[in-house]
Amino acid sequence: MSNNNIISLFETILDKSSILKGEDLKSRFYHIWKTDIPLESICLLLPKNTNQVSSILKICNNYNQEVIIHGGLTNLVGATKSSDNQVVISLEKMKNIIEIDEKGKTVTCESGVIIEDIINAVKDKDLLLPLNFGARGSAQIGGAVSTNAGGLRVFKYGMTRNLVMGLEVVLPDGTIISSLKKLMKDNSGYDLKQFFIGSEGTLGIVTKVVLRLYQHPKTRYTALAVTNDYKKVLDLLKFMEDKISKNLTAFELLWNDTYKQMISDKTIYNKYLPDNYK
Ligand SMILES: Cc1cc2nc3c(=O)[nH]c(=O)nc-3n(C[C@H](O)[C@H](O)[C@H](O)COP(=O)(O)OP(=O)(O)OC[C@H]3O[C@@H](n4cnc5c(N)ncnc54)[C@H](O)[C@@H]3O)c2cc1C
């Protein structure tokens, strides 16, 4: 099937503004840090709902067309790089927060919602989405699910896997699997969603997600400590666990080289600890 022919099939599903090709691809990129390199692809598709994702995948499956999925393009392993014989599907137009269940402490949203937008929306209801990492302002929830992202608060709340209660996924042949459950206590048969969490889009496209939320903590304290001995880092961690047990949400170790980079003249950070501790 020629590029033009497959694009004309996509035109039966999506409006023209949701199909980028030719010159339009020059303003697109495959990673947030590579904005100067134009995207290589047959076309970039911007579905607005699950049915459109399903119809696109049916076409691609019928014609053995390779597909690359774009979330927020923040992965650090080149997973969203494409070539000119591949079709790119971006979830960026699927960005609705569908429901915040304040009593059940869950949020249901489309997979293209930026993580920081979910964090802020639930914070307004005094709830916490503990998924938090440096790229949260660009990464999408579908990308986080597909990479089983971790982040700063894994220590207490676990990886993304621990936060996902339900998923809707479109399989490569276009079949929609919907398991948007909000139940904590659910032992009803196979837990299919686990296959898709961390599978980096190889098994299907995540289109909707139900996430578990927590009551927003009333207070938060941060301590910075410095040592020249790795064993003491472990001792400190054990000490903190003994003393404040489940309230310890994050524990991060910065090596001296990283710290020196952070406080170099090129950055805006103050030198808040000595960098030559003996
Ligand atoms: C500054 C910075 C800090 C980071 N910190 C962390 C960290 O602490 N912990 C951590 O785990 N990661 C971290 N990352 C890596 C990255 O942010 C995460 O992996 C993030 O979850 C990727 O989300 P994304 O939406 O950008 O996905 P993308 O980069 O767009 O895609 C990632 C993979 O998922 C697939 N994919 C995307 N969306 C979907 C979907 N809806 N359905 C199916 N497949 C999909 C893509 O094809 C690709 O294979 C960091 C990255 C940066 C730049």
Residue 33 in tokens: 């840090």
What is the pLDDT at residue 274? 72
Question: Which residues, at least 6 apart from 160, have a Cβ–Cβ distance to it below 8 Å?
Answer: 131, 144, 145, 147, 148, 149, 150, 197, 198
pLDDT in tens, 243-258: 887 788 888 898 989 8
C-beta atoms surrounding 77 within 10 Å:
8
122 alpha carbon to ligand 1 midpoint, in Å? 21
pLDDT in tens, 53-105: 999 999 999 999 999 999 999 999 999 999 999 999 999 999 999 999 999 99
Q: Distance between CA atoms of 192 and 184, rounded to whole angstroms?
A: 15
pLDDT at 272 over 80: no
33 alpha carbon to ligand 1 midpoint, in Å? 13
The answer to whether the beta carbons of residues 145 and 129 sit under 8 Å apart is no
User: Measuring CA to CA, which residue among 190, 192, 189, 144 is closest to residue 171?
Assistant: 192
The mean per-residue pLDDT over the stretch 43-61 comes to 98
What is the pLDDT at residue 278? 59
Listing from the earlier edge strand, what are the strands of the sheet with 87-90? 19-20, 43-45, 87-90, 67-70
pTM: 0.93
Ligand 1 near 174 CB (within 6 A)? no
Ligand 1 near 53 CB (within 6 A)? no
Residue 51 in tokens: 């049915």
Ligand 1 near 140 CB (within 6 A)? yes
